[in-house]
Amino acid sequence: MTTLIVVGAQWGDEGKGKVVDFLASQAQVVARYAGGNNAGHTLVLGARKIVTHLVPSGCAYPGTTCVLGAGMVIDLDVFQAEVAQLQQSGMLLGEELRVSLDAHVILPYHRALDGLREDQAGGGAEKIGTTRRGIGPAYEAKAARRGVRVRDLLDRTRLRARLEHNKLHVDPELLRFGGASVDVEAILASADAWATWLAGKVCDVGALIHRAIVSGQRVLCEGAQGALLDLDHGTYPYVTSSTTLAGGACAGLGIGPTLIDEVWGITKAYTTRVGAGPFPTCDRGAAGELLRSAGDEYGATTGRPRDCGWLDLPALRHAARLNGLTGLCITKLDVLAALPEVQVCTHYADGAEPGEVELGAVTPVYESVPGWGAADLRSGIMAARRLEDLPAPARAYLDRVESAIGVPIALVSVGPDREQTILTRAAFS
Ligand code: IMP
């Protein structure tokens, strides 16, 4: 029995979908604990490519319980459409889905506010470059103690009162930015349909996961976004509105920290970021372009091109400490083979450390990594199924990263397919 948390160790988009899908074959429960449909987790299953935004990446395994925790914010229209699409692909046909009664609901006015604020910000410093899915406004309402929870959808009188209360707060801002005021009746009508659809899927997921763990089941907790987008420890204010760190799994699911055994952090072999905010190792030249095209670096949720650059070891060390990582998963190693020369940021100038100095103010110092750029390197990397199969430059790169971070490599991904994965440590006992 093991409870394993898998988190992003950069700015999101590290390949959590693929890694969680791979590991989920060994788990009985896969649980998401934070964020909402700002996430886009891509699973490649043979010729099929599936992108999930809300459903945990364990959905490809019939009978595996897929949990949406209390720390999430759920857009029920998106959730229903996603589940319908997965069911058409033969998934989630049983009783796999379990949704926390305490998860918060993203409502149309949250989406509207998110978009209107981004539009108002124009190109100014206030623009976060959000996914415009209503994530921030829904978490704001939660913190202000006027959010709507899944359980509120099941009580029409309470829901109406909540919505009227929220209308008073958000209408002035909506109208000031040229939006429409909150339509309480329309939301109530949608809520009836959501409540019917949710019947049989909702429960106290903390109790469910606790039961699973004490009865010896393997539980996989799936983080969303990445360490540097964390509300408390990321590149604030250019962050998401939830806890993206491993610590958030306990609060977001309703289980205690003593139940967690392992925490694996995922990093790409390079770095990407989408949205506004600092990115010290961003490369706006030819190398960045090559990484974007070879790595197909376009947002799974919004389609936006991602900024690309070199692996940032100080930032990764910071993420490893924030999460208490016990294993490192390195994805997209094959993509580096597209580059004639690979660099890695070993430290920041003047001894600057993330956490002490804001990342917008650091100057990365690079080292060139020898041996990249051979024509057959990528195919050699993609064909590897054990560390020993990897071409020498790729192995040397992994050794370099592992010793710089001080966390053992647990998994290496050498291509988008499930089988293009090298597992070097047991995920579950
Ligand atoms: P929000 O989460 O939509 O409020 O967006 C806040 C910031 O987080 C923006 O910079 C987004 O681009 C970024 N973000 C949110 N979700 C993801 C993700 O899943 N991957 C990468 N970036 C994300």
Judge if the beta carbon of residue 371 lies within 6 A of ligand 1.
Answer: no
Among this protein's residues, is 13 annotated catalytic? Answer: yes
Q: What is the pLDDT of residues 177-232, one digit of tens each?
A: 999 999 999 999 999 999 999 999 999 999 999 999 999 999 999 999 999 999 99
pLDDT score for 33: 98
Pocket test for ligand 1, best of 11, 20, 131, 267 (most atoms within 8 A of CB): 131
Neighbouring-strand partners of residue 411: 329, 423
**What is the distance in A from the centroid of ligand 1 to the CA of 38?**
6
pLDDT score for 300: 80
**What is the distance in A from the centroid of ligand 1 to the CA of 130?**
6
Question: Taking the CB of residue 276, how many other CB atoms lie within 10 A of it?
Answer: 19
State the pLDDT confidence band at 403, using cuts at 50, 70 and 90. very high
**What is the distance in A from the centroid of ligand 1 to the CA of 278?**
14
Judge if the beta carbon of residue 13 lies within 6 A of ligand 1.
Answer: yes
- Looking at the CA of residue 39, tell me the nearest atom of ligand 1: 19
Could you give phi then psi for residue 152, rounded to 5 degrees? -70, -25
Judge if the beta carbon of residue 227 lies within 6 A of ligand 1.
Answer: no
Q: What is the pLDDT of residues 77-119, one digit of tens each?
A: 999 999 999 999 999 999 999 999 999 999 999 999 999 999 9
Nearest CA to ligand 1 atom 19: 39
The C-alpha atoms of residue 148 and residue 196 are separated, in whole angstroms, by 17
Percent of the chain having pLDDT more than 90? Answer: 91
pLDDT score for 43: 83
Could you give phi then psi for residue 49, rounded to 5 degrees? -120, 125
